[in-house]
Amino acid sequence: MLQTEKHYVQWQDNETSRNSRWLSESNQPPPARIVIVDDQTTADQAYRFACEGTSMLWRGDFHNARQLLQAMTRRIERTEQRKASKAAKSGKASTDATAIPNLFHLQRQAQGQRSRILSRVLLELDAGYSSRLRRAPDFSAACTAAFGELDEHCLISFRDLQGALGAAQWREKGVPISSLDLSIFPHYGVFAPTRHEYVQLMLDAPLPDTHDLAFDIGTGTGLLAIILAQRGVQQVVAIDLNPRALACAADNIQRLELTNVQLQQADLFPTEQPLANLIVCNPPWLPAKPSSPLEYAVYDANSAMLRGFLQGVSKHLAAQGEVWLILSDLAEHLQLRSREELLSWFSEAGLMVKYRLDTQPKHGRSQDATDPLFAARSAEITSLWCLTLRQQTE
């Protein structure tokens, strides 16, 4: 998931040939064509360059680069609106049964295109992430926290840099989780629980009678493991594939001085552990291909993690144990997965539903009537499915 290989980009700095490290969090290939731009470059020129696939190395004032990006975003939005109204007039935006998944895929394509265009404004940074641009703030701490140490000159997109700066703010301020009376501190590249209505479900579900050992599969910031530990589960093993998530969970667990949460890097299930009485999982909830490592927490191609979790969970669960699966039904409203399919996966895995708790998300996007996917988003329900082994009662 994370970029482990180093990539380099060859470029012309006026008459001089240069070779620099290429940093791209979204795994964009090194740019094939780079021109040097500065405060004299207009937003129209920059937008044209970006649309034709030319990257721009910014040599102007640091804050003007931010404004340039905002001006380019407005041009992208205008183009998207023009395309949408043209499609509506030509009757392409039909409302037949396939329109909703199509809308979702078109929106994902548009997001991808927007990200590629905006990622074409580049900055050069020296070792330690220092910048020579006028009015550039010191972002070495934010970048080191996000991308690791840098001991050579690099080119990076201004957008990736903004991502690191934004993450550093979240990490410092934390995300308050009011129902727990604590804050969680997300790290760069880790799912931030800003939509945390499911926390209440985790608090409302009665713990199984025996709760000496629980697993949290895909722990992210460690939030669900922390809830279980605070609710009295004696030992919690929290798993994630993403090393950034494990470092983040370790940070949050340490801040709360919890000594009964153990972390393990694994694909789904821990190794060398006895059977657990409770296994919780809040998997990425949309069956679609992640377009960058940062999207792995939200998008799950072909529901691979969800299905892998369901298929494997019975081997790790004690006979009287419970599985708590946190899952939004947005994928159902987007017609990307049906309820029947989900229920059949439970059944094929030898699981049955003991009960289900529901909550309705209240986040901004579910209230935004201008969003083309408003109908689906406003109908979304997040559930805690309590599942048990079928043979237990048969």
Ligand X SMILES: C[S@@+](CC[C@H](N)C(=O)[O-])C[C@H]1O[C@@H](n2cnc3c(N)ncnc32)[C@H](O)[C@@H]1O
Q: How far is the CB of 210 from ligand X (least distance, A)?
A: 23
270 binds ligand X (CB under 6 A): no
Helices and strands (H, E) in the chain, number of each type: 12, 15
Sites for ligand X among residues 168-207 (CB under 6 A): 191, 193
Sites for ligand X among residues 289-318 (CB under 6 A): 296-297, 305
Report which DSSP code applies to 187: P
Q: Which is nearer to ligand X, 121 or 305 (CB)?
A: 305
Q: Which stretch binds ligand X (CB under 6 A): 101-109, 115-123, 164-172, 217-225?
A: 217-225
Q: What is the DSSP string of 359-383?
A: E----GGGG-TTSTTHHHHHT--EE
Q: How many CB atoms lie within 10 A of CB 250?
A: 15
Q: Which is nearer to ligand X, 31 or 163 (CB)?
A: 163
Q: How many residues bind ligand X (CB under 6 A)?
A: 22
Q: Which is nearer to ligand X, 44 or 267 (CB)?
A: 267
Cβ atoms of 339 and 346 closer than 8 Å: no
Question: Which residues contact residue 378 at a Cβ distance below 8 angstroms, ignoring those fewer than 6 apart?
Answer: 366, 367
Among 34, 118, 223, 331, binds ligand X (CB under 6 A): 223
Antiparallel, parallel or unpaired: β 317-328 and 382-389: antiparallel
Q: How many CB atoms lie within 10 A of CB 27?
A: 13
CA-CA-CA-CA dihedral for 35, 157, 143, 223, to nearest 10: 180
Q: Which residue is nearest to ligand X (CB)?
A: 218
Q: Which is nearer to ligand X, 129 or 191 (CB)?
A: 191
Q: How far is the CB of 169 from ligand X (least distance, A)?
A: 19
Among 224, 227, 246, 386, binds ligand X (CB under 6 A): 224
Q: Which stretch binds ligand X (CB under 6 A): 86-94, 148-156, 204-212, 280-288?
A: 280-288
Both tokens of 139, joined, read: 């972002």
Positions in the binding site for ligand X (CB under 6 A):
191, 193, 217-221, 223-224, 239-242, 245, 267-268, 282-284, 296-297, 305
